[in-house]
Chain A
Amino acid sequence: MTVAAPVTEAPKAPRFRPGDILKQRELGIVLALLALVAFTAINQPRFLSSQSVRDILLNTAILAVVAAGMAVVVITRHIDLSVGSVLGLSAFTVATVMQHNQGLPMVAAIGLGLAIGAVAGVVNGALVHFGNVPALVVTLGTMYAYRGITYSWAGGQQVTADEVPRHFLRFANADLLGVPWLVLIALVVIAGVGLMMRNYRIGRELYAMGSSPQAAGLAGIGIARNTLVAFVISGSLAGLGGVLYASRFGTVDASSGNGYELQVVAAVVVGGVAVFGGSGTIWGAGLGALLLTVIGSALAVLDINQFWQQAIVGALIVLAIGADRLVAVRIARSLRKRDSHV
């Protein structure tokens, strides 16, 4: 896994107190989520049927894995628009390899997906840092390029579910003690990346870079290495997302994951990660992914026009950044007030 670079010296981790929960930014999402689930379940009890819950969790898992990587990049004050293309490239490559090597174990597939994503991430990170070009532009370019590579290789072909080995497909639905593998992987990723960002030096440095790139540079933080690390994490997790996608849906073609980056950015922003970097949490991004998925299935269950979903997602993004701005203005004001007493 790509989590947890070796620690040289762990700074004091923020200690967790139960009272802090009330101050958490993510509280809003949790409440919205609970309200949405309660409302939907009351109106349509089959929403909480085990099959429906399972579908929601499986769909959330893929989105959350990619969103965790995106959150790292956004916290560092960059953005990675290439994740949808990386997911597609990884999904098609892994599915093709599995098609030709039926005996290959699942671990190899996951390793391959991670490796493809990591390479894509290194390219992104190197272009951003050494080319001195904003991530928005670089990843917009590589989004086209990676997608183009998949298309020129795959053309109109697709790998269908009956061509890939059974165990590869079964993986998405198999569970360990009742918890699907996909969900377990998502939980491990969120916990791992979250721990890295919260408790390890590299994570704190990424936050520092997001808060003020200049100050971080002056403080002696290795900007080059850290930028690469952030993009490699994002790329690898998008690659992992591709493996999970191929395993869950079985049928993969060159357009798989087209436009996925938008959903991922939405999950991250709705999950309380500030677009200007420096704040937000990985588990917030995971919650954002869950909220988006739940909205989707709630609309379906409540028989509301599915077409509303995207409009709601858009409205949510605007609301989330608006709320974020409000909080930031408030904090700035209270800080100024406190300073005036000194």
Chain B
Amino acid sequence: MSELRGRLASWDSVIILITVAVLAGASIGVENFGNSTNFTFLILDLLPIALIALPMTMIVITGEIDLSVASTLGLTSAIMGDLWNRGLTIETIIPLCVLIGALLGAVNGVLITRLGLPSLAVTIGTLALYRGLAFVVLGDAAVADFPWTFTGWVTGTIGGGPIPNVLILLVVLAVIFGVVLHATPFGRSLFAIGANDQAARFSGIDVARTKFWLYVVSGAIAGLAGVLWTLRYSSARADNGAGLELAVVAAVLLGGVSIFGGRGSLWGVLSGVLLLAVLQNALRLQDVSGQALNIVTGLLLIASVLLPNIIAGVRNSLHRRRLRAVPAKSL
């Protein structure tokens, strides 16, 4: 019972409840929200954020951050366009792009774990570097003539219904990441590292190597997101996904992952992603401009970190008062 109450009070269940409430409210109150075309677009819109949020959740749980993901997406998109212009087949380009993403992640990983540099600073640096390289590769040109079989698959739906093809990909990856994070010793070690990395090291966890591979995976997923982004809009551009890193970080923190590390869950994060996407979508259907929606994103982000602190503070003071009320003898 007390475990249940603890779980109900934890932020990630709160965010799941809010998400369900907003979903229900929007389907009833917002015209066209419930229609199947809108559902498809909603999923397509949240796909890159959700994908990148999977490894980002793990990275933030270990107490680090990766701000370079959106630039990695842009650089892989630019490289994809360039390779396509050079006449490579799309079947070779796609795995190559994921591999390049992994390499870019490995660069972050080496700088952070081998040289011991702070991840925030490193990935702000590579954020600028990778985006710059994307422009070096493709300039301000756009490559658009990708084969329809691939672009059609990304924007298409299963049997012409409301469920987009890419949702399968997202679900599969989310299940893999969920199992790894919450049901394996490796996943537990990530929480341990985030809670106290020295203690984790003393208990035999190779902290540096773990973090290194997280960055490699983060880069690979960002590369995959770059491929999907390019195919969805049939447009390889150097500025694809600019600013997306902030939406991802916002979704991860909104989903109850502690920025200090050691705390969080994948379903919390996925509902954070969903909440952001649903709110944006519903408000946009009501003609609120996309940019003005930033207020909602910003306030949600601040609230998501403030509220748990306030709740914890109130609970602490209640606890202390109760302790004082108990006579010393009965302790």
Chain A residues within CB distance 8 Å of chain B: 79, 127, 131-134, 136-138, 140-149, 151-152, 155, 254-255, 259, 262, 265-266, 269, 275-276, 305, 307-318, 321-322, 325
Contact = CB atoms under 8 A, between A and B. Distances in A.
A141 B302 contact: yes
A152 B301 contact: no
B136 A321 contact: no
A144 to B, nearest CB: 3
B120 interface: yes
Given A132-B309, A152-B295, 15 more contacts: A134-B260, A137-B253, A137-B301, A138-B302, A142-B298, A144-B246, A152-B291, A262-B128, A275-B121, A276-B118, A307-B136, A310-B129, A311-B136, A315-B129, A318-B111
Contacts of A325: 115-117
Given A137-B259, A137-B301, A276-B118, A313 B132 contact: yes
Interface of B: 65, 111, 115-118, 120-122, 124-133, 135-136, 139-140, 238, 243, 246, 249-250, 253, 259-260, 289, 291-299, 301-302, 305-306, 309
A182 B327 CA distance: 68
Given A149-B295, A322-B117, A325-B115, A314 B302 contact: no
A308 B137 CA distance: 10
A313 B128 contact: yes
B298 A148 contact: yes
Nearest to A325: B117
Question: Which of A142, A310, A313, A316 has most chain B Cβ within 10 Å?
Answer: A310
Nearest to A149: B295
A311 B129 contact: yes
A331 B211 CA distance: 27
Nearest to B309: A132
Please report whether the interface of chain A is mostly helix, strand, loop or mixed according to DSSP: helix
A307 B130 CA distance: 11
Q: 10 smallest A-B Cβ distances: which pairs? A: A314-B129, A311-B132, A144-B298, A310-B132, A148-B295, A145-B298, A314-B128, A148-B294, A317-B125, A307-B135
A322 B115 contact: yes
15 contacts: A79-B120, A132-B309, A140-B301, A141-B250, A141-B299, A142-B302, A144-B246, A148-B295, A152-B291, A152-B295, A255-B291, A307-B140, A313-B132, A314-B128, A325-B117
Contacts of B125: 269, 314-318, 321
Contacts of A321: 117-118, 121-122, 125
Contacts of A312: 132
A137 B305 contact: yes
Given A131-B306, A318-B111, A148 B293 contact: yes
Contacts of A155: 289
Contacts of A142: 298, 302
A262 B126 CA distance: 11
A151 B121 contact: no
Given A148-B294, A311-B135, A140 B250 contact: yes
A310 B135 contact: yes
Nearest to A326: B115
B292 A317 contact: no
Contacts of A322: 111, 115, 117
A137 B301 CA distance: 8
A40 to B, nearest CB: 19
Contacts of B116: 325
A236 to B, nearest CB: 20
A151 B292 contact: yes
Nearest to A134: B259
Contacts of B124: 262, 265-266, 269, 317
Question: Which of B120, B124, B127, B295 has most chain A Cβ within 10 Å?
Answer: B124
Contacts of A266: 124, 128
A61 B177 CA distance: 47
A305 B132 CA distance: 11
Nearest to A305: B136
Contacts of B309: 131-133
A142 B303 CA distance: 11
A209 to B, nearest CB: 18
